[in-house]
């Protein structure tokens, strides 16, 4: 008997391989190198990420599938690779100083971050439900551990356990949805095959398919932190180490949206009438709950967590619109969100100082007088998150809401804009505190490390650049979403 192995090209998963090998190498190095000589882990992870970015650049423009139709090679996934690599690289640069303050600058931290990034890439490019599940779990399990990195810290423990239990709970829903879909489509889990079978009304058992759609919405909704599955977000974001929170807020959300968008745009166009209405309601509820609750927060990390819930709502507008501009705005906004959110968390890390001593929003009062540049940067990120021109946040929201109008969801756009107005209140409050309130106590020196400063400069420039000249990213995104039917 002979077994034929289907042909495959290793270079089509080059970025994953680089990150995985890099992470394993870091683990080995951590075990073998003597104590006190571990300062170079961030640099090594950045090198791995740089190589992965280069490989993604070389892959750009390829199309088709590989590994026995298990993965897609298309610009949609490559665009997301870039988002993940950018987010991870900025996180790694933010981490070192912060972790050293806690005495936790461990090799496994960087290895886990790289593993999680590889999992995100798997999610973005999977063409089979097994791959989506595997990518999701590779990412999530690494992030559970990262959230609990500060073993002796009660809050970190609690955040990690809550995240793990609710994450596993939501994965079970996602899996049950996949099983129902498997049954509804008559025994296939390939995304392209499923799309073809679900259009054939005579063949599909519709109730089962609808149940599958509902369960998949629950599963993905948990990961992107949409209402009513958002309850874990503030707790986990507050308790986890700040650098991990930044990573979760941008990376995990982007990966979940990548899979969410691919599955719903590619597999379920035939059931569009049904899921669009559900997502419409969820998007509006998510925005409103996130924004209204954020107003009441006094912990900056918790405030940014609710802001992240609100942003999940805005991003879902792109899914509801389900047209070309909707998908484009989803990609653009995720990139913009990566920049502005990581920048904001960078400032939080700098102001928080030794062991997160200053996380209350009132600790920001008087920052404008004592550290004018830092305050100006924070103000820029707050304006960007609120969606005020000329930042990337404004352009992204403009695209999202015009996509909704284009698709005929006028009320969704109106509610979205009203929500943005509500959000201006709590973002501007930070700015007002920084510039118009005297400091409650002397803030003392802020330890600017070169890497953190570089992150702040890069994100600030990126937010402005993407806001003033959005054309380049817009064209890239248009190029990326061509794979979806009708876009």
Q: Which residues bind another protein (CB under 8 A)?
A: 129-130, 133-134, 137, 141, 144-145, 148, 151-152, 154-155, 157-162, 164-165, 168-169, 171-172, 175-176, 178-180, 182-183, 186-189, 234-235, 238-239, 293, 296-297, 302
Cα–Cα distance for residue pair 283/155, rounded to 1 Å: 30
Nearer to another protein, 289 or 443 (CB): 289
Nearer to another protein, 164 or 451 (CB): 164
Give me the least distance between CB of 249 and another protein, in Å please: 16
Give me the least distance between CB of 192 and another protein, in Å please: 14
Cα–Cα distance for residue pair 402/410, rounded to 1 Å: 9
Nearer to another protein, 352 or 396 (CB): 352
Nearer to another protein, 216 or 476 (CB): 216
Nearer to another protein, 167 or 387 (CB): 167
Give me the least distance between CB of 331 and another protein, in Å please: 28
Nearer to another protein, 238 or 356 (CB): 238
Give me the least distance between CB of 153 and another protein, in Å please: 8
Nearer to another protein, 133 or 314 (CB): 133
Cα–Cα distance for residue pair 305/248, rounded to 1 Å: 10
Give me the least distance between CB of 62 and another protein, in Å please: 26
Give me the least distance between CB of 261 and another protein, in Å please: 23
Give me the least distance between CB of 129 and another protein, in Å please: 8
Give me the least distance between CB of 113 and another protein, in Å please: 16
Nearer to another protein, 303 or 342 (CB): 303
Nearer to another protein, 215 or 340 (CB): 215
Give me the least distance between CB of 234 and another protein, in Å please: 6
Return all residues near 463 (Cβ < 8 A) that are at least 6 apart: 336, 339, 340, 343, 380, 381, 384, 391, 392, 393
Give me the least distance between CB of 212 and another protein, in Å please: 11
Give me the least distance between CB of 174 and another protein, in Å please: 9
Nearer to another protein, 67 or 398 (CB): 67
Nearer to another protein, 175 or 483 (CB): 175
Task: Show the 3-state SS of the chain.
Answer: CCCCCCCCCHHHHHHHHHHHHHHHHHHHHHHHCCCCCCCCHHHHHHHHHHHHHHHHHHHCCCCEEECCCCEEECHHHHHHHHHHHHHHHHHHHHHHHHHHHCCCCCHHHHHHHHHHHHHHHHHHHECEHHHHHHHHHHHHHHHHHHHCCCCCCHHHHHHHHHHHHHHHHHHHHHHHHHHHHHHHCCCCCEHHHHHHHHHCCCCCCHHHHHHHHHHHHHHHHHHHCCCCCCCHHHHHHHHCCHHHHHHHHHHHHHHHHHHHHHHHHHCCHHHHHHHHHHHHHHHHHHHHHHHHHHHCCCEHHHHHHHHHHHHHHHHHHHHHHCCHHHHHHHHHHHHHHHHHHHHHHHHHHHHHCHHHCCCEHHHHCCHHHHCHHHHHHHHHHHHHHHCCCCCHHHHHHHHHHHHHHHCCCHHHHHHHHHHHHHHHHHHHHHHHHHHHCCCCCCCCCCCCCHHHHHHHHHHHHHHHHHHHCCHHHHHHHHHHHHHCCCC
């Amino acid at each position: 008997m002979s077994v034929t192995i289907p042909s495959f090209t290793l270079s089509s998963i080059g970025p994953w391989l680089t990150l995985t090998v890099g992470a394993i190498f870091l683990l080995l190095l951590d075990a073998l190198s003597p104590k006190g000589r571990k300062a170079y882990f961030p640099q090594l992870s950045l090198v791995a990420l740089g190589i992965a970015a280069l490989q993604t650049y070389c892959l750009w423009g390829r199309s088709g599938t590989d590994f026995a139709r298990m993965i897609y090679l298309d610009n949609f996934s490559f665009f997301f690779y870039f988002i993940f690599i950018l987010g991870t690289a900025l996180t790694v640069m933010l981490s070192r100083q912060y972790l050293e303050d806690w005495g936790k600058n461990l090799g496994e931290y960087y290895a886990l971050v790289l593993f999680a990034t590889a999992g995100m890439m798997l999610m973005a490019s999977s063409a089979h439900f097994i791959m989506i599940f595997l990518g999701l779990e590779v990412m999530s399990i690494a992030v559970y551990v990262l959230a609990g990195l500060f073993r002796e810290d009660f809050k970190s423990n609690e955040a990690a356990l809550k995240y793990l239990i609710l994450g596993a709970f939501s994965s079970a829903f996602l899996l049950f949805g996949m099983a129902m879909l498997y049954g509804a489509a008559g025994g296939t889990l390939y995304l392209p095959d499923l799309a073809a079978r679900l259009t054939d009304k005579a063949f599909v058992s519709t109730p089962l398919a609808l149940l599958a759609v509902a369960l998949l919405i629950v599963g993905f909704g948990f990961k992107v932190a949409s209402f009513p599955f958002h309850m874990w977000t503030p707790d986990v974001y507050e308790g986890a180490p700040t650098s991990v929170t930044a990573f979760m807020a941008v990376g995990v959300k982007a990966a979940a949206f990548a899979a969410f968008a691919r599955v719903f745009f590619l597999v379920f166009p035939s059931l569009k009438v049904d899921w669009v209405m559900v997502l419409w309601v969820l998007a509006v509820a998510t925005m409103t709950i996130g924004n209204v609750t954020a107003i009441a927060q006094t912990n900056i990390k918790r405030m940014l967590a609710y802001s992240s819930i609100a942003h999940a709502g805005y991003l879902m507008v792109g899914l509801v619109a389900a047209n070309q501009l909707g998908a484009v705005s989803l990609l653009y906004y995720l990139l913009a969100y990566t920049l502005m959110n990581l920048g904001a968390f960078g400032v939080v890390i700098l102001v928080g100082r030794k062991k997160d001593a200053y996380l209350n929003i009132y600790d920001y009062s008087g920052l404008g007088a004592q550290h004018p540049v830092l305050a100006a940067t924070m103000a820029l990120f707050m304006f960007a998150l609120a969606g005020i021109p000329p930042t990337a946040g404004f352009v992204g929201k403009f695209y999202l809401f015009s996509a909704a109008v284009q698709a005929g969801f006028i009320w969704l756009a109106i509610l979205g804009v009203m929500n943005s107005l509500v959000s201006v209140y709590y973002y501007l409050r930070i700015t007002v505190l920084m510039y118009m309130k005297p400091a409650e106590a002397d803030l003392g020196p802020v330890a600017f490390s070169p890497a953190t400063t570089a992150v702040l400069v890069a994100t600030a420039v990126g937010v402005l650049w993407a806001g003033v000249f959005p054309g380049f990213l817009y064209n890239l995104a248009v190029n990326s979403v061509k794979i979806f039917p009708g876009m």
